[in-house]
Amino acid sequence: MSSEQRKPCYILGLSCFYHDSAAVLLKDGEVVFAAQEERFTRKKHDEALPVRAVTRALRSAGITMRDIDAVVFYEKPLLKFFDRILSTVIAVWPRGFLMFHRAMHEWLQKKLWIPQIIRKELEYDGPVLFTTHHESHAASAYYPSGFPDAAIVTVDGVGEWATTTIGLGKGTEMTLKEELHFPHSLGLLYSAITYYLGFRVNSAEYKVMGLAPYGKPAYLDRMRSLMDLKEDGSFRLDMRFFTYEYGSTMTGKALERLFGQPRRKPEGPLTQFHKDIARSLQDLTNEVMLRIVRHAKETCPSENLCLAGGVALNCVANGVIRRSGLFKHIFIQPAAGDAGGALGAALAVWHRRFGGKRMDGFPHVFLGTEYAQEAIESFLKERGLPYETLTDAALPETVANLLEGENVIGWFQGRMEFGPRSLGNRSILADARNPDNWRKVNLKIKFRESFRPFAPTVLEERVSDYFDLREASPFMLLVADVLPHRRSEIPAVTHVDGSARIQTIRRDQNPRYEDLLKAFERKTGCAVIINTSFNVRGEPIVESPADAVNCFLHTEMDCLVLGNCLLKKSAMPDVRTGGQERYLGQFALD
């Protein structure tokens, strides 16, 4: 077979059976599809085998499972079970009786049979390969970074044993050098305090991050006493305060005695105490992360840093790392959590097994499903919903006119984002200059806690005009201060401490979204808008036109832009907009 006729190499990466399952398809080392299963099942953080995501991946590439050269799972289940899980059972004995039963049922029924389940459910009989959990995270950050070499840091709850790793990437080689072991985990510490504050674990850690600026570090010393933190960033948690090794809860009475208050009941009132706890936790996290990356710089010298693992979604800590100046360039995998493990696993195999060459970079995350204009119009006609079709030229100006002021607009375009953030294709947009939009979007559209801030999108070339940031932030993973003289101009995206979690946009990343921002800037003189995810609380981000229309009809969103179709709430028949309670009742609160 000539080189022109060579069959492409397809690798399917999977992450599942813990939380945030996902499927990623590589073709000759390039990502052709990536999506989380939750978007299709509409079950937030769905952990099931991502059958629907795989089906859509194959369809988008025009192939079947017979064309797949390897399926890769993002961790080593037998190492996890026979080493860490059973070792933990023995270490905590005689505690953990119920946890033991739960774990054994789960593992004996499902998690010990992963290759068999994959082969049966996906109708696949090729090789099934396994990377380690932190190798998956590391690969998801290093290989797409575009850096010729980099120090790599991965920090999460736990993989097999590792909770934190440091490594070095050079060319196509990646070597993990040092690690910290379970139960000593910065991710689990953050989750434990999230639990103590009455929020949902593995779901609401970012809410604690958003709550922190409202507090003072009044409990920082007590928070520090939860760990023995070394200068090199390594640490050991005092497990007397945590129950996650052996129980179904994360913390117990000891932590309540330490802080002097019982655990907050979910949905209970948030007091200054809770805000101070959140702030103290965030300050400690910043300190630990800074020490870890400093140690990474010493151990794995490079001008570049790659970050992944769930804790890399902590934008505040990322901002601290950036401002430290330790590294010239930083790349953070946008899908830094377990969903990104599917990407990393596939990339690791591409390099290690197939000797493939590096990706050129990771310019955007628009890697999921998309819907053609004809399909959208056909759907709207079927549902009998009135709409107006705009031309490509008229779309940005028309929507920018609507955005000015009070209108909140659902924006559904192109390919769906991969990772937890909406970056302009499945977004709810609003005017950042209107302070009322903060309250309106939080309470009447997303039905979420009022303290939660909104993130801005800004034209990349204008970022330093508005924020204390001189570099691109395309994935909304960096927090920086809004310039003091701009805070009154964009109050709806300025957090209580003057900071913002910024997304910059450039033409080659998303031309339509950039056109919209430029049109808004021409009209208002402001290059910043609110960009929040297109969903209500507890709901996965919308995937299809049907999801988008349902969210639009059952909230107080003013307009919806589906491709080139514009729908206005004022034109919707009344009968279609009822049933809000039933709609919201589908989604468990996160």
Partner 1 sequence: MPLPLLLRRLWNAWKAVGRGIGIVTGFVLLSVLWITIFGIYALCRKCAGLLKRSSPPASYWQPVPPDYPNSLDHEF
Q: Which residues bind to partner 1, rule: CB under 8 A?
A: 72, 76-79, 82-83, 89-91, 93-94, 97, 100-101, 104-105, 114-115, 127, 129-131, 162, 165-167, 176-181, 184, 228, 230, 232, 234-236, 295, 349, 352-353
Minimum CB distance to partner 1 smaller for 138 or for 367: 138
- Residue 416 C-beta: closest distance to partner 1, Å: 30
Give kind and range of the element (H or E) at residue 395.
helix 394-403
- Residue 35 C-beta: closest distance to partner 1, Å: 24
Minimum CB distance to partner 1 smaller for 115 or for 491: 115
Burial annotation 216-247 (CB, 10 A radius, 16+ → b, else e): ebebbeebeebbebeeebbbebebebbbbbbe
Task: Let me know: does 588 contact 539? Beta carbons within 8 Å.
Answer: no
What does the radius of gyration of the chain's CA atoms come to, in whole angstroms?
23
- Residue 12 C-beta: closest distance to partner 1, Å: 14
Count Cα atoms within 13 angstroms, Cβ side, for 502. 31
Ramachandran category for residue 299: left, alpha or beta (phi over 0 → left; psi -120 to 50 → alpha):
alpha
Minimum CB distance to partner 1 smaller for 107 or for 362: 107
Cα-Cα-Cα-Cα dihedral sign, residues 59, 63, 64, 68:
negative
Count Cα atoms within 13 angstroms, Cβ side, for 538. 13
Query: What is the distance between the alpha carbons of residues 440 and 300, in angstroms, rounded to a whole number?
Result: 47
Query: What is the distance between the alpha carbons of residues 255 and 44, in angstroms, rounded to a whole number?
Result: 29
Minimum CB distance to partner 1 smaller for 96 or for 337: 96
Minimum CB distance to partner 1 smaller for 100 or for 451: 100
- Residue 115 C-beta: closest distance to partner 1, Å: 7
Query: What is the distance between the alpha carbons of residues 95 and 103, in angstroms, rounded to a whole number?
Result: 14
Minimum CB distance to partner 1 smaller for 170 or for 353: 353
The 3-state secondary structure of 489-517 reads CCHHHCCCCCEEEEEEECCCCCHHHHHHH
- Residue 95 C-beta: closest distance to partner 1, Å: 10
- Residue 230 C-beta: closest distance to partner 1, Å: 6
Helix locations, 225-271, DSSP H: 253-259
Query: What is the distance between the alpha carbons of residues 94 and 100, in angstroms, rounded to a whole number?
Result: 10
Write out the DSSP string of 100-138: HHHHHHHHHHTGGGHHHHHHHHHT--S-EEE--HHHHHH
Q: Of 510, 522, 533, 516, whose CA–CA distance to 410 is shortest?
A: 533
Minimum CB distance to partner 1 smaller for 274 or for 295: 295
- Residue 103 C-beta: closest distance to partner 1, Å: 10
- Residue 34 C-beta: closest distance to partner 1, Å: 21
Minimum CB distance to partner 1 smaller for 317 or for 345: 345
Query: What is the distance between the alpha carbons of residues 356 and 28, in angstroms, rounded to a whole number?
Result: 7
Q: Of 372, 241, 235, 233, whose CA–CA distance to 289 is shortest?
A: 233
Per-residue CA distances from 337 to 96, 311, 319, 330 (Å): 27, 8, 18, 17
Pairing of strands 304-308, 149-155: parallel
- Residue 77 C-beta: closest distance to partner 1, Å: 5
Q: What tokens appear for 494 in the block?
A: 């300025």
- Residue 87 C-beta: closest distance to partner 1, Å: 10
Minimum CB distance to partner 1 smaller for 74 or for 259: 74
- Residue 393 C-beta: closest distance to partner 1, Å: 51
- Residue 102 C-beta: closest distance to partner 1, Å: 10
